Amino acid sequence: MRLPNGDLSTCHPLNNSVTGSASSSSEDDGGSLEETYSPVTLVDNEGLLVPPLNFAMVDYGVFRSGFPDTANFAFLQTLGLRSIIYLCPEAYPEANVEFLNANGIRLFQFAIEGSKEPPMVNIPEETIREALKVVLDEKNHPLLIHCKRGKHRTGSLVGCLRKLQKWCLTSIFDEYQRYAAEKARVSDLRFMELFDISGFKQPPASCSHSKN
């Protein structure tokens, strides 16, 4: 996984434009690995390829989104995914399971309950740590992380990954809020701030999008 240079005091500007994001800003700060995907990004002979809600590139070989439905399957095929990390406790829909089986994609499910504040949401740290191990293992790339809307649970996991990449908290919170917008949760921000990365090894320097 290619990492930004710098230490915990280094901030990393982000691009604002992401598919389905609640943010409406068009300002481009530059310097981010996130790529912009319009609601319809590609056209082939069979029709339009539509990415899932809040789809974006997190890093080389790592993507994020809301819950994919059947309309997004053709787009997901273009990513050559090896794995999907699903952060909800509900059973994966049969149509999605069939899609994974047909395309040789492995499902990693980490059951994190979705709830609203108040009360404070209790994010299970050990579950996030196990999910991060999957993200950091290049054998699982290319990989898609998703929950329901691609906001809170997905944003919290990506935020913890950013700490490993030595992003400053300002940039981590900014990225989280670009997806959560007015639904940002103080408990998520607090969790990311306090998350202990000392037990993790430094992620690899680069990874590939394509299957071997």
Contact 132/191 with Cβ under 8 angstroms?
A: no
Q: How far apart are CA 10 and CA 26, in angstroms?
A: 24
State yes or no: is 147 an active-site residue.
Answer: yes
Task: Report the range of poorest mean pLDDT among 21-25, 29-33, 94-98.
Answer: 21-25
Q: How far apart are CA 181 and CA 158, in angstroms?
A: 16
Instruction: Name which of 86, 82, 142 is nearest 111 in CA terms.
Output: 86
Q: How far is CA 9 from CA 12, 31, 178, in A?
A: 10, 16, 21
Q: Label residue 19 by pLDDT band (50, 70, 90).
A: very low
Find the mean pLDDT for residues 123-139: 94
Q: How far apart are CA 143 and CA 60, in angstroms?
A: 10
Instruction: Name which of 32, 7, 3 is nearest 17 in CA terms.
Output: 32
Tokens of 136: 């950091």
Find the mean pLDDT for residues 77-86: 97
Q: For residue 26, report the phi and psi dihedrals to the nearest 5 degrees.
A: -110, 5
Instruction: Among 3.20.20.140, 3.90.190.10, 1.10.357.10, 3.40.50.300, name the CATH number for the domain at 56-149.
Output: 3.90.190.10
Q: How far apart are CA 83 and CA 100, in angstroms?
A: 9
Catalytic residue among 11, 147, 160, 168: 147
* pLDDT above 90 for 36: no
**Cα four-point dihedral sign 127, 131, 132, 134:** positive
pLDDT given at position 204: 56
Q: Label residue 13 by pLDDT band (50, 70, 90).
A: very low
Q: Report helix, strand or coil for 173.
A: helix
Annotated domain spans of the chain:
56-149
Partners of 144 in the β-ladder: 63, 84
Contact 210/80 with Cβ under 8 angstroms?
A: yes
Instruction: Give the H/E segment covering residue 187.
Output: helix 186-194
Contact 174/189 with Cβ under 8 angstroms?
A: no
